[in-house]
Amino acid sequence: MARITRPSPTPNHSPRKASGLADVPERIAVVGGGAWGTALAISAARAGRSTTLWVREADLAQRMRTTRENDVFLPGHRLPPHVTVHEALGDAVRGADAALLVVPSQHLRATCKALARVAPKKLPLVICAKGIEHTSGLLMAQVVEQCLPDHPLAVLSGPTFASEVAQGQPTAVTLASEDAASDQEHSLAARLAAALGTPTFRPYVTDDLRGVEVGGAVKNVLAIASGIAQGLGFGANARAALITRGLEEVRQLTLALGGRSDTVYGLAGLGDLSLTCSSEQSRNMRFGMGLAAGRSELDIFDGRPVVVEGRDNVVPVTDLARRLEVEMPICEAVRAVVAEGAPIGDVMVQLLSRPFRAEARGLSLQIAQPDQPVEMRL
């Protein structure tokens, strides 16, 4: 396997300055010690940043300080020497120049409430969670804005598997902040890109927070659909159709929320969707495959604690779409199976029996299907 390596900074390293940029964050706090949070801490340290990592589980934090490995969520990847692990949130964010929020989407509000008591004033916050809050129907940035209104916000998303980022394999992500439109070179997203970027971790900057967030929330639901399709024995044709039509569902919801189509066709949209719908490394895709095989969640993941964001977000995603009158048939099918207990075979027949439609949005064509049964091997 090809591997690009670069020297690791020493513990007393000098922070790497980016040409033409001032106020590049030097001290990064990562709030959340799951697989993705641990990988981002490793990557930030690789970029030359002094990095702290907050791990909620005190026993795990203690082991990580001793073994330098997250044996629960990201085994096999050692923490660099200058990543410090804390179980106290206040210790993790003290003195930080920016904090990456890497907790499950449905736990973000509780984490932000705790953070409000200990975070430095105006600490920039980078949302790395993907989803829509179940109780409020708010996107993650809206949740953070409610809890921490005086903090600059950015969103980090894109096609990433934690293990590959931890290994230092080439990865590209999107960093979004609203000031990127008015002050491109000195925006929060640009400064974060300078702080976190390396030859193998390449951030691209945008000002479209809504588009980036919608792509991250919906792709997990669509990945469950992709897993179900694979578990039923469907082939590459079905996966290509699902990704393409699923991307249209992402686009319609993005536009309804004020986002842009170019974001949907970028890393945070098409890139993330194609990755998570095409690899069994995706927890959401594996979950869908397990559902198709009639397996329990514990059995699917060999008894390990795993967050399946698509399962947790399918109801808030489809509730939001319904309120905005956005048609999302694939996501609705996943909701019927995951949240409403509908038989997978029945749902697939209903989905495949939908009228034929025009692909171009300028056409309102709708053709009823011939009166014949849908044949599938289930």
Average pLDDT over residues 272-297: 95
Closest CA relative to residue 174, chosen from 140, 102, 126: 126
- pLDDT tens digit string along 12-54? 344 444 444 568 999 999 999 999 999 999 999 999 999 999 9
CA distances for 218 relative to 82, 140, 214, 330, angstroms: 35, 13, 6, 10
Examine the domain organization and report whether 183 and 272 are in the same domain: no
Q: Which residues are annotated as a binding site?
A: 36, 56, 130, 158, 160, 162, 219, 272, 282-284, 307, 309
Domain shared by 239 and 118, yes or no: no
Amino acid 356: pLDDT = 81
- Please tell me the distance from the alpha carbon of residue 246 to that of residue 160, in angstroms, as a whole number: 19
**104-112 average pLDDT score:** 96
- My answer on whether 193 and 215 are in the same domain is no
Query: Same domain for 257 and 198?
Result: no
Known binding residues for NADPH:
36, 56, 130, 162, 283, 307, 309
Question: Does the pLDDT of residue 6 top 80, yes or no?
Answer: no
As for how many domains the chain has, the answer is 2
Q: Do 186 and 78 lie in a common domain?
A: yes
Selection from 346, 261, 344, 226 nearest residue 295 by Cα: 344
Alpha-carbon distance values, 225 to 259, 310, 329 (Å): 24, 10, 11
The predicted pLDDT at position 95 comes to 97
- Is the entire prediction scored with pTM above 0.75? yes
Q: Are residues 136 and 228 in the same domain?
A: no
Amino acid (1-letter code) at residue 341: G
pLDDT, one tens digit per residue, over 228-259 is 999 999 999 999 999 999 999 999 999 999 99
User: Does residue 86 sit in the same domain as residue 111?
Assistant: yes
Residue 6 placed within a domain: no
Does residue 203 sit in the same domain as residue 232? no
By three-state DSSP, how is residue 46 classified?
A: helix
In this structure, the answer to whether residues 216 and 203 fall within a common structural domain is no
Q: Specify whether the CB–CB gap between 336 and 316 falls below 8 A.
A: no
Amino acid 10: pLDDT: 37
What are 321-342's pLDDT values in tens digits?
999 999 999 999 999 999 999 9
pLDDT at 370: 72
- 368 domain-assigned: no
190-222 tens-digit pLDDT: 999 999 999 999 999 999 999 999 999 999 999
C-alpha distance from residue 157 to each of 36, 221, 268 (Å): 11, 16, 6
Q: Is 122 a catalytic residue?
A: no
* Binding site feature residues for sn-glycerol 3-phosphate: 130, 158, 160, 219, 272, 282-284
Helix (H, G, I), strand (E, B) or coil at 252: helix
57 and 203 inside one domain = yes
369: in domain: no
The answer to whether position 3 is within a domain reads: no
Cα dist from 27 to 32, 44, 61, 84, 165, whole Å: 16, 9, 20, 11, 19
Mean pLDDT of the chain: 91
| CATH number of residue 96's parent domain | 3.40.50.720
The single residue of 17, 121, 122, 219 carrying the catalytic annotation is 219
CA-nearest of 186, 114, 127, 115 to 153 is 127
Residue 71: the pLDDT is 96
Q: Is 69 helix (H, G, I), strand (E, B) or coil?
A: strand
Owning domain of residue 98: 27-207
Residues 134 and 35 occupy one common structural domain: yes
Task: Supply the pLDDT for residue 13.
Answer: 42
Phi, then psi, of 40 in degrees rounded to 5:
-65, -35
Residue 377 belongs to some domain of the structure: no
Distance between CA atoms of 182 and 12, rounded to whole angstroms? Answer: 36
Does any domain span residue 179? yes
The domain that contains 220 carries what CATH number? 1.10.1040.10
Q: What percent of the chain has pLDDT over 90?
A: 82
Are residues 191 and 93 located together in one domain of the fold? yes
Which tens digit of pLDDT belongs to each residue from 134-183? 999 999 999 999 999 999 999 999 999 999 999 999 999 999 999 999 88
What's residue 19's pLDDT? 40
